[in-house]
Structure 1
């Protein structure tokens, strides 16, 4: 891997066998003197996972990531959202509600994709970033991007089989008829891009949503929602079918609600990493609007 510790771009290495930090850096950072590499540590430019480490003899374990940051005065601006995980091939973020994942005809610059591209590349430079999946503008939570073409193809080519679990928090109006249940339907889409449950057949896509009640509030309920399928607007349509539209979802039968946003958050994404064959789980904590409405369940 090419290292660029003096640019505005961070360099990420994957630990494959037990080692000490300085020895690992000396083996992986090419064309740099021992004193320069030691300087990365003393200047607090090295992270193991999310932790800044300065100790030369820090013990590394397989599966960890080691990141070399550029000097403080050359680093890219701080991101407006948390990074859940990053390595040489992937970056996973907690997208806030109100931010598009990717560009549309009406908005091309204010997107998670554009912000991340600028962040990874640094000022005045370009670096590829690839969409793997997406969330609606008003849904918050876990979104995964690929940092190279090979990873994009490995994930997208077999995405439905690689995804082991997709779990959302849904704040909905009213109360579902049961504490837990499953909604199944065939989803269709109108020419105006409204998704609805309709008859099976040509153009229809089967969708399966499982839900479980986590807490009840005044006129609303907090659900944990797990998807067997990842269809467009699937949860929003199925909650409408259940008679409990998502809070704030005026498009699918809801009222404005008390949250000030759509009551939908992608809490967990578990996938089989195509590089290792092992499961990787990425989680995003409940946003403050959810915690405020359901403090006993979410703290």
Structure 2
């Protein structure tokens, strides 16, 4: 699989549009630079937060174009083959040069959502990129998961494991693109952009009214995992877009109408804030705790064994797990 690179860099807000919202701890399996970055990040311990509530976050104002290229280069978790505005796409030419690819252009093959941390898969070989894209398409058609996410949820799913199936559509509401569930979609709905979506979930750990959940999407739709967890009445911690759809009365949670519920900063109860050592103002800036942890890929050659890329959790995510007593098994 010549020309393929996996970035274990922990992203927040990479996008085609203006600006990278935040770049988080680089983690490079198989690269000395990555090991050095992990060792440097591991010196920070969990505790009272003070002025830096989310360790590992790099603010955009502190990141130069050259700095972003350095962080991306150090974050390569696997490398096969020869070695305007501040966005991931805008610095791909510099990253290509930095990796010694000369005139070979990098393109994004697979990545998580714009606020989600974790792996970004790049390729400098058009044939490899095409092969991987076909692999992902065929895997989805066969309902074979290729990506595994980790999420911390505000609330605990009623079942320890199961599938979430719902039809979703994208609507432009008050100037914002929002994902809306659709009950019993008609054939016309499906022709006009409504898509049936499916995710598998498994609760790994529970504690302090929260859960560590493993998620495997079997379809692709914007914000699919966030909306699926909201429908389980357990929004992702740091979800400042869809968590407002979960209301509470006398300790009982219920769903508010998606079409008429505007996005707002996530509101956490006092007990959870105490566990997290956060003030309400800090909680309003909480990063989305949804992380693309693992990608399953085919072997480099037809008869070779499949390969697996892993990106470790960012520091703020690991700290949250420690504060909540959520331990991976």
Query: Which of 306, 312, 325 is matched with 1:279 structurally?
Result: 306
Classify 1:255/1:273 alpha carbon distance in 2 versus 1 (closer, same or farther; 3 Å). farther
Classify 1:266/1:290 alpha carbon distance in 2 versus 1 (closer, same or farther; 3 Å). same
Query: How far apart, CA to CA, are the structure 2 residues paired with 1:141 and 1:195?
Result: 22
Query: How far apart, CA to CA, are the structure 2 residues paired with 1:258 and 1:219?
Result: 19
Classify 1:298/1:106 alpha carbon distance in 2 versus 1 (closer, same or farther; 3 Å). closer
Q: CA deviation at 1:102?
A: 4.0
Alpha-carbon contact 1:162-1:272 (below 8 Å) kept: no
Determine helix, strand or coil for the equivalent of 1:297: coil
Query: How far apart, CA to CA, are the structure 2 residues paired with 1:190 and 1:284?
Result: 32
Query: How far apart, CA to CA, are the structure 2 residues paired with 1:251 and 1:171?
Result: 16
Query: Which of 145, 148, 157 is matched with 1:176 structurally?
Result: 157
Matched, 1:265 2:265: no
Matched, 1:167 2:148: yes
Q: Which residue of 2 aligns with 1:187?
A: 168
Q: Which residue of 2 aligns with 1:132?
A: 109
Q: CA deviation at 1:115?
A: 3.8
Q: Which residue of 1 aligns with 2:131?
A: 154
Q: CA deviation at 1:106?
A: 9.4
Query: How far apart, CA to CA, are the structure 1 residues paired with 2:137 and 2:195?
Result: 14
Q: CA deviation at 1:109?
A: 3.3
Q: CA deviation at 1:218?
A: 2.0
Query: How far apart, CA to CA, are the structure 1 residues paired with 2:299 and 2:220?
Result: 18
Query: How far apart, CA to CA, are the structure 2 residues paired with 1:250 and 1:258?
Result: 8
Alpha-carbon contact 1:290-1:298 (below 8 Å) kept: no
Q: CA deviation at 1:110?
A: 2.4
Query: Which of 231, 239, 248 is matched with 1:249 structurally?
Result: 239
For residues 16-58 of structure 1, the C-alpha deviation after alignment (integer angstroms, 9 at most, x for no partner) is xxxxxxxxxxxxxxxxxxxxxxxxxxxxxxxxxxxxxxxxxxx
Q: CA deviation at 1:252?
A: 0.6
The structure with more helix, counted as a fraction of residues: 2
Query: Which of 100, 121, 126 is matched with 2:14 structurally?
Result: 100
Determine helix, strand or coil for the equivalent of 1:172: strand
5+ residue gaps, structure 2, are 22-83, 183-188, 244-265, 269-282
Determine helix, strand or coil for the equivalent of 1:132: strand
Query: How far apart, CA to CA, are the structure 1 residues paired with 2:109 and 2:14?
Result: 14
Alpha-carbon contact 1:183-1:238 (below 8 Å) kept: yes
Q: Which residue of 2 aligns with 1:4?
A: none
Q: Which residue of 1 aligns with 2:327?
A: 297
Query: Which of 218, 223, 226 is matched with 1:228 structurally?
Result: 218
Classify 1:113/1:133 alpha carbon distance in 2 versus 1 (closer, same or farther; 3 Å). same
Determine helix, strand or coil for the equivalent of 1:224: strand
Matched, 1:197 2:181: yes
Q: CA deviation at 1:207?
A: 0.9
Q: CA deviation at 1:105?
A: 8.7
TM-score using structure 2 length: 0.57
- Size of the aligned set, in residue pairs, is 213
Determine helix, strand or coil for the equivalent of 2:12: coil
Classify 1:228/1:290 alpha carbon distance in 2 versus 1 (closer, same or farther; 3 Å). same
Q: Which residue of 1 aligns with 2:87?
A: 111
Determine helix, strand or coil for the equivalent of 1:197: strand
For residues 140-171 of structure 1, the C-alpha deviation after alignment (integer angstroms, 9 at most, x for no partner) is 11111111222222222442225742110011
Query: How far apart, CA to CA, are the structure 2 residues paired with 1:178 and 1:143?
Result: 31
Alpha-carbon contact 2:205-2:328 (below 8 Å) kept: no
